[in-house]
Amino acid sequence: MRPAPRPVRSLRAVVLIGVVALAAAACGDTTESGGEKAGNSTAVTVQAANGAVTIPAPPKRIVSLSPTHTETLFAIGAGKLVVAADEYSNFPAGAPKTKLSGFKPNAEAIIGYKPDLVVLSDDMDGIVKALEKVKIPVLLEPAATKLDEVYDEIDDLGVATGHQRDAKKLTDDMRASIQQTVGSAKPASGKTLSYYHELDNQLHTVTSKTFIGQVYGLFGLRNVADKAEKAAGGYPRLSREYLLKSDPDLVFLADTKCCGQNEAAVAKRGGWQDLAAVKGKNVIPLDDDIASRWGPRLPEFVKAIGAAVQKASAGK
């Protein structure tokens, strides 16, 4: 698949460490190799961002260093194969979260879990080569930049784990849910609603060029941060004056967990009580994790936006 700049695996984690990193990579289409035998099983080859990865036999011990991919593995029925997940893999509740880090990966610690497959979103500190050197199959599946890449990565994990049918059902259900939500939530005729998506209470946000921005774009919303974009890679920090002047119709808070933000909190910020979104009660609290991951719970994020659009449109 075509190369594209990739943000780090989770914007939620970006907020926690206070930076946004970009990783150049490409997600891949999946192909199943024919005729390769490993014991009684047929090997499969997955085209991931780190090239063609051959998995000689169905994995039995998976290490996931990405919260999104941990969610996906459980959603396609491969959760029982996950023996260790990184420190941010907090969903589902049964995920085997450990102290493993996807940002500062320790090859020795990962190898200690005796994995026959490692799934990650970033190749930090050369971890991919370090694991490949000891013959551990590694799938590098970076943060998606568009919806098709979300589905492609889920398909990759389905092929890699022998859960192709479950993966296809998941992506079919996600597509149908998103299509239905978008189709039933359109802004009022002749009115383009504007929005601001808050990553933290320091006014870091996203522009339309990011994956999150593209999700909002499904509803025809206008991002007030787009004109503020310079060299921030899609994640500018707005000034208070700029935000107040932009006066968004909708404010989405993706910092409810990290920073304790809600409608009451933002209404107390200087000047915010006069914003259209605040006066119209169109400040929408989001689950930080759902709003920053590109996996199985993406339709929930889309539904939250759809409900807000319907409400705001009805109030016009």
- Residues pairing with 41 in the sheet: 38
Tens digit of each residue's pLDDT (9 = 90 or more) over 221-245: 999 999 987 756 899 999 999 999 9
Tens digit of each residue's pLDDT (9 = 90 or more) over 116-146: 999 999 999 999 999 999 999 999 999 999 9
pTM recorded for the entire structure: 0.86
Identify whether the C-beta of residue 119 lies closer than 8 Å to the C-beta of residue 141: yes
Token digits for 225? 């941060």
Q: What is the model's pLDDT at position 42?
A: 83
11, pLDDT greater than 50: no
Domain ranges of the chain: 4-175, 186-314
Q: What is the model's pLDDT at position 231?
A: 56
Tens digit of each residue's pLDDT (9 = 90 or more) over 102-111: 999 999 999 9
Where does the pLDDT of residue 191 fall: very low under 50, low under 70, confident under 90, or very high at 90 and above? Answer: confident
Arithmetic mean of pLDDT, 204-217? 96
Mean residue pLDDT across the chain: 88
Cβ burial, residue 234 (10 Å; 0-12/13-18/19+): buried
4, pLDDT greater than 90: no
**Listed residue (58, 20, 17) closest to 37, CA to CA:** 58
Arithmetic mean of pLDDT, 284-289? 97
Write the CATH number of the domain with boundaries 4-175.
3.40.50.1980
Cβ burial, residue 18 (10 Å; 0-12/13-18/19+): exposed
Arithmetic mean of pLDDT, 21-50? 56
Is the fold of 4-175 the same as that of 186-314?
yes
Q: What's the DSSP call for residue 138? A: E
Lowest-pLDDT choice from 36-45, 264-273, 306-315: 36-45
What is the C-alpha to C-alpha distance for residues 51 and 43, in angstroms, rounded to an integer? 16
Share of the chain above pLDDT 70, in %: 85
Q: What is the model's pLDDT at position 9?
A: 40
89, pLDDT greater than 60: yes
**Listed residue (306, 312, 254, 309) closest to 278, CA to CA:** 312
Q: What is the model's pLDDT at position 27?
A: 42
Write the CATH number of the domain with boundaries 186-314.
3.40.50.1980
**What residues contact 75, with CB distance under 8 A and at least 6 apart?**
166, 170, 295, 296
**Listed residue (248, 242, 200, 199) closest to 221, CA to CA:** 248
